[in-house]
Amino acid sequence: MDLSRSAFIRRWYFLSLGLAGAGLILLRFTVLSAATAGSAILQSLSGIADNLIAAVLTSIIVGAAYIYLFPQNAAPAYEVVPSRDIARAIADMTDNAREWSVRSRGANYFTSVTLPALVASALDRGASIRMRVQCLDPDQPPLLAAYAESMSDIRSRVGTWSASRARLEVCASLLRAALHVKDAPRVRVEFGFSPSIWVMSLDLTDQAALVTGQNKGEDALLFRTESQFFKPYSDDFDISWKACRVVSPRLSQAMPADPRKLTEQHLVILEEFYGGLGVARPSREELREIVRTLNREHDYA
């Protein structure tokens, strides 16, 4: 019985001893207190009860000393999440989340998979959720070019990478997020356009921080709140968020999934949508490509 490592065992160890001690004391000073000198049986039972009470008190003292001398081991610094389990780990984190911060260059996977799960969870629970999405600034060509270069050695399901494709990916994520939260007024999503670039993605909640790479098949690292590394990741995100240009994408009207069904009114609404976010307005052809991208399968884990 390792009292120092298991909170469950410690709890039930002391609870059971306490209940046993209370029962023995109650028995000793009620039923057995009437023992007389001529009652050998009651005297024997009284002696047994006294010994048991002493044993319980000794066990409690020894257990408390053991915990004091051998404190609970620190939580593991991190957990390795196999690549096949990353999607499930993220899904588990969405169940009761009230805040979610993500650092993802294009935010494709987040807006395609994680954000819909968060919205569904919020609606089911009647809860509010705040999401912060740190992504590349779509109006910074050097960042987009660096992103495309880092992805150029990855075999993509659709097309090849370029700065133009990277920009359209960010723009599609903005539109996708706005459409997902359209009917969820208690769900707040903000995008922070970062002036810098990174490789490792970060999903951060009040439960854990999940760090993933850019290549399919790579394992991830999970840092729970008890880990000494959780707070540094949280602080790092908060500090980098302050350097971002923050926008809140909102759209009141649904968009057809087929770009061929986009009307002039739809295109005007999309132009105003991006203009309202302070993003350089995509061309009409780019708008059609963005809509075509909305339901495209993501290229990540």
Q: In this model, does residue 94 exceed pLDDT 60? A: yes
Domain stop point among 24, 46, 69: 69
Phi, psi of 193 (to 5 degrees): -80, 115
**Non-local CB neighbours of 70 within 8 Å, separated by 6+ positions:** 3, 4
166 and 259 both lie in a single domain: yes
pLDDT tens per residue, range 167-182: 999 999 999 999 999 9
Which burial class, exposed, middle or buried, applies to 150 when counting CB atoms under 10 A from its CB (0-12, 13-18, 19+)?
middle
What does the mean pLDDT of the chain come to? 87
> Between the CA of residue 168 and those of 148, 173, 289, what are the distances in Å?
12, 8, 8
14 and 113 both lie in a single domain: no
116 and 182 both lie in a single domain: yes
240 and 189 both lie in a single domain: yes
239 and 214 both lie in a single domain: yes
* Tokens matching residue 120: 């569904």
Nearest to 98 by CA among 121, 124, 68: 121
Per-residue confidence (pLDDT) for residue 1, from 0 to 100: 44
Rounded Cα distance between 211 and 216, Å, is: 14
Within-domain flag for 301: no
267 and 136 both lie in a single domain: yes
Confidence class of residue 297 from pLDDT cuts 50, 70 and 90?
low
Within-domain flag for 151: yes
Within-domain flag for 44: yes
Domain stop point among 69, 89, 114: 69
Say which range, 50-59, 102-111, 138-147, 224-233, has the weakest mean pLDDT: 50-59
CATH number for the domain that contains residue 281? 3.30.870.10
Q: In this model, does residue 102 exceed pLDDT 90? A: yes
Maximum average pLDDT range among 15-19, 146-150, 243-247 = 243-247
22 and 167 both lie in a single domain: no
Per-residue confidence (pLDDT) for residue 243, from 0 to 100: 96
Within-domain flag for 35: yes
Share of the chain above pLDDT 70, in %: 89
Q: Give residue 246's identity as a one-letter amino acid code.
A: V
41 and 177 both lie in a single domain: no
Q: Give residue 253's identity as a one-letter amino acid code.
A: Q
Say which range, 55-69, 77-91, 120-134, has the weakest mean pLDDT: 55-69
* Tokens matching residue 203: 């999903």
Per-residue confidence (pLDDT) for residue 18, from 0 to 100: 85
Within-domain flag for 74: no
Within-domain flag for 1: no
Q: How many domains does the chain have?
A: 2
Task: Please say whether the beta carbons of 132 and 244 come within 8 A.
Answer: no
Confidence class of residue 294 from pLDDT cuts 50, 70 and 90?
confident
178 and 36 both lie in a single domain: no
Quote the Cα angle for 31-36-41, to 5°.
Answer: 70
54 and 184 both lie in a single domain: no
Rounded Cα distance between 273 and 96, Å, is: 31
44 and 181 both lie in a single domain: no
Confidence class of residue 301 from pLDDT cuts 50, 70 and 90?
very low
**Non-local CB neighbours of 39 within 8 Å, separated by 6+ positions:** none
Domain stop point among 69, 98, 123: 69
Within-domain flag for 90: yes
Domain residues for the domain of 164 are 79-293
Average pLDDT over residues 195-220: 91
Q: In this model, does residue 270 exceed pLDDT 70? A: yes
Rounded to two decimals, the pTM is 0.73
133 and 203 both lie in a single domain: yes
End-to-end CA distance of the chain: 41
pLDDT tens per residue, range 105-144: 999 999 999 999 999 999 999 999 999 999 999 999 999 9
Phi, psi of 190 (to 5 degrees): -125, 140
Within-domain flag for 300: no
